[in-house]
Structures are given as C-alpha cells and as structure tokens.
Structure 1
Amino acid sequence: MPDALAAALATPGLGWLVLAALVAGMVRGFAGFGAGLVFVPVAAQVLPPLWALITISAMDLLGPIPNIPAALRRADRGDLLRLVGATLLALPLGLAALSMVAPEMFRTTVSLLSLGMLGCLVGGLRYRGPLGPRMVLGTGGAAGFLGGLAALPGPPVILLYMASPNPVAVVRASIMAYLFFFDIALMGVLAVQDALVLVPVLLGLALALPNLAGNLLGAAIFRPGFERIYRAVAYSIIAVSALSGLPLWE
C-alpha cells in the first residue's frame, strides 16, 4: 500500500490532475453537472485509458455519499433500476472496446464526445419522443457502453432527463444516484475481471480532496439569479478542457 500510494503521488502530470479535479468540482458545485466532461479530457492526456477510467470513478465515489440517501428518496426508482440494469449488461462491452483502443484514440474520442455533449447542451437538443421503459433501457445501455469506453456515462442519461416531465429535483436526484451506482458497477466489473489497479484507485481517492473542495466552493458561490452566467462559465470550461485533448496542438 505505501508503495502504491507513493506511485500514485508520483504520477506525471499530477498537478494538472489536481487542477482538473478542483475545477471539475467547482463546475459541478455551481452548475450541477459537467464534472466528467471537464476532468476526463485532461486525465486522458496524462493517464493510460484504463487508469483514467478508474481514477475518475474512485474520485467520484466518495463525494456524493452524504447525498445518496436523499437522492434515492427523490429519484424515479423504476427508471433508475432500468438504467442500472442495462448499464450492467453494456459496461463489459465498453470495457472490451476500451482494451482495443490506443491511448491517442481514447484521448481524441473523449474530447469529441465532450464537445458533442456540449453542443447538445448549448443547442438545447432534447429527445422529443415518449420516455417509456424501452427508451430508458436503451439509454442505460448506451451510458454503460460509453462509460466503459470513454469514462463518460453521463451524457446519454443527462440528455434523456432533459426531456423528462419529472420535477427538476427528481431529475437531479435520478442522475446523481445513477452516476453513483455506475461507479460502483464499474469497480465491481473491473474487480471480477481482475483489472482493478490499486495505483489509480489511490490516485482517485487522493483527487477526491480537491474535487470535494471545488464542489464546496462552487456551491458557496452559486446564486440562483445568475444561473445563466454559471452555465456559460461551465460551458466555456468544458470547451477548453475538451479542445485541449484534441491532437490540434501537437
């Protein structure tokens, strides 16, 4: 354990990861979304693909724990079960695809997915059809595959719930609960596959500290009357992070 912790703290680019974790936490704190879209493109530039996946999952696992009981009370449990069930089926497929992706391709894929999600958010793209069980199951499958392939399970679920008739509190609770269970599912699947590496787990737990600080800071500076400004700032940060991962600057 001490050797693994020392290796985690000696990770090249650790300063960038700490900064990305802090800023990602701030974005989530004042905008309510986008932490993965900020952190993963940066992590993909300094970590192997599987390590990036493990690191963000370990980082995100601790922070939401105090809020999970309330989230489970408010979430749409039927939809949540469907999302998680479909994710469990598709996640191993995403991980299998990840094992065949070169680091450079992973980095580019993550950045393009982040930019695509940003375009959907800025453009107000919404699913207009009925939100039936099949649609929810399909979304869970897409989220599981993308989570295994690119460490970004959130975009399909967020786009689904943007079209939900549920109150905002239910939507936020459902997304929070889903992402928490995704992290648990990922750790479980990797453990079963004997692919759960200790060093990125410890790295993620260490990065949970600046991430939590960012969450608290973002929540502290949030003012409901300036929500549009916060969203614009969040969109700008996501854009910078995603663009930094593209092979345009090499």
Structure 2
Amino acid sequence: MIEPIQNLVQLTPVQMVLCVGVVFVAGMIRGFSGFALSALFMASAAAFIPPVELIPVCYILEVTASLIMFRGGLQDADMKIVWGLTIGSAIGNPMGLYATTSIPVELSKLIALFIILGLATAQLLRTSPQFLASTTGLYASGITAGVVSGLASVGGMVIALYVLARKVPPRTMRASLVMYLFIGMFTSIVYLLGFDVMNKLAISRGLFLAPLVAIGVLIGSRFFRPSLENIYKKFCLGLLIFLASAGLIRLIL
C-alpha cells in the first residue's frame, strides 16, 4: 500500500515519515500563531528536497490551512492593516525580483534575516521602534516585505514582525496574519503557474500532505484560547527569532 504512494510522491519511506511529522507540527504552529507553516517546512525538508520543488507544495499546504482558518480570520482581522500590507507587498515584489539581477540572493537574505532577528529581539525586550505602528510604517512594511520576498523569500516574516508590533489584541494579530496569507494565495498562484513550477509531482506531494496539515491546524487552533492569548506575542517573537537564527546558520554554514 505504501509503495504506490511512494512512487506517486517520489520520496523514500524515511523521507515520507519526516515530511509527515514536520508538516503535522508545522500545521499545529500555523493553527496557533497564524503563520510559519512554509518557513518551518522549508527549513526542515530542504535537506532532502530541492527548495524549488518545495515552493508549490508549500502553496498547497498554505491553501489548506488558509481555507480552514478563513472564517475566524475574517471575523477578527483588522482589514485596513491586511489590505495595506497586501498592496505594499504587491508593489514591492516586482522591485525585489528585478533587484535579483544586481544583488546576490544569499547576501540579501543574510541582511534581511539579520534585520528580522534584530527587530524581533527588540520587540521581545519591549524596545520596538514606534515607526512600525504608524500608517507610514504599514505601507513601508508591506513594500519592504514585497522587496524582501522577491529577493530572498522571507517576506512573510517581515509581515509577522509588523503585525506583532501593533498594539492590538492577540486575536486581531493572528487573524490579520491569516487574512494576509489568504489573500496572498491569489497572487502566488499566478507566479507559480507563470514560471511552470506547479507541476504534477508538486500537486501529488501537496495532496498527500494536506490532510496532515489540516489536522495539525485544527489542533493548533484549539490551543488559541483566552487563557493562552497572553503568551501569544512572546511565542510568535520567539518563533521569528528561531526561524531567523536557523536561516542565518544555514547560510553561514
């Protein structure tokens, strides 16, 4: 029974088990925090699957998570923030893609991760710059996220950093991240189809892992309740610091 699935997804049994475990845990974290699914999966699975093959799989997993979390996100999100970040990101993304012709991707990713690490640590120590919480900061963060996403594919972390800097309830922070990622699905599919990255293998892998991420998201969402909302921001900032540090270590080594 396993062999037909193995042939379909073109992974060894060990790789299949690793993917299932990582996706399940990443799904739980996405369900609780509202982000980090793709970042965690990419960081773990890139050791045995080329990143270019992981991108469309991540898209299918994000679609699965977004559809499950859409209702709660729509109810609680600050849509002014969501649309501001989305518009800014759409403007900045082509700029980032264009800049890849003159700036080495590894260098840009290194700089972006250092900035994210520094700002996340500052927020954790409650010394976050007030600029991030302003209207100018809203659009600047969106454009920066788009540029960084085009250059180094870490734009989502910039968005999370901005949302966490707002003085709003944790429920609104989480919902705003959920809706930003939901809207982003519609622009992302254009790039994936345009560059012919979304192929049969990616769809097979995505559909194989989708039920696991769905279960993980449902479990993680159950943990997001009033008694745990007070640790939400610290958890997310710690998660950003971990992801940025892991990315820096991979680049340096």
Q: Which interval holds the TM-score relative to the shorter structure?
A: 0.7 to 0.9
Alpha carbon RMSD of aligned pairs, Å? 4.3
Q: 1:25 aligns with which of 21, 27, 30?
A: 27
TM-score (norm 2): 0.71
Q: 1:38 and 1:97 mapped to 2: Cα distance?
A: 26
Question: Which amino acid in structure 1 is aligned with residue 140 of structure 2?
Answer: G
Change over 3 Å in CA distance of 1:67–1:240 after alignment to 2: closer
Listed as ranges, the matches of 1:105-184 within 5 Å are 119=121, 122-124=124-126, 126-129=128-131, 131-184=133-186
Q: 1:52 and 1:94 mapped to 2: Cα distance?
A: 21
CA positional deviation for 1:200: 2.3
**Structure 2 portions without partners, runs of 5+:** none
**Range with greater deviation from structure 2 (147-156 or 102-111):** 102-111
Q: Is the 8 A contact 1:109 1:150 kept in 2?
A: no
CA positional deviation for 1:165: 3.2
CA positional deviation for 1:59: 0.7
Listed as ranges, the matches of 1:1-250 within 5 Å are 6-8=8-10, 13-94=15-96, 119=121, 122-124=124-126, 126-129=128-131, 131-220=133-222, 224-225=226-227, 235=238, 239=242, 243=246, 246-247=249-250
Calculate percent identity across the aligned residue pairs: 25
Q: 1:46 and 1:145 mapped to 2: Cα distance?
A: 28
**Structure 1 portions without partners, runs of 5+:** none
Q: 1:61 and 1:96 mapped to 2: Cα distance?
A: 27
Q: Is the 8 A contact 1:139 1:160 kept in 2?
A: yes
Q: 1:97 and 1:55 mapped to 2: Cα distance?
A: 26
CA positional deviation for 1:178: 0.4
CA positional deviation for 1:238: 7.7
Q: Can you list the C-alpha shifts for 1:132-159, whole angstroms capped at 9, x where unaligned?
A: 4432222112222333444433221222
Q: 1:162 and 1:46 mapped to 2: Cα distance?
A: 33
CA positional deviation for 1:126: 2.7
Change over 3 Å in CA distance of 1:154–1:100 after alignment to 2: same
CA positional deviation for 1:87: 1.7
Q: 1:52 and 1:105 mapped to 2: Cα distance?
A: 22
Q: Can you list the C-alpha shifts for 1:203-238, whole angstroms capped at 9, x where unaligned?
A: 233222222222233344566545677888884898
Higher RCO, Cα 8 Å, sep 6+: 1
Question: Which amino acid in structure 2 is aligned with residue 196 of structure 1?
Answer: M
Secondary structure of 1:45's partner? coil
TM-score (norm 1): 0.72
CA positional deviation for 1:62: 1.5
Secondary structure of 1:126's partner? coil
Q: 1:110 and 1:46 mapped to 2: Cα distance?
A: 25
CA positional deviation for 1:109: 8.8
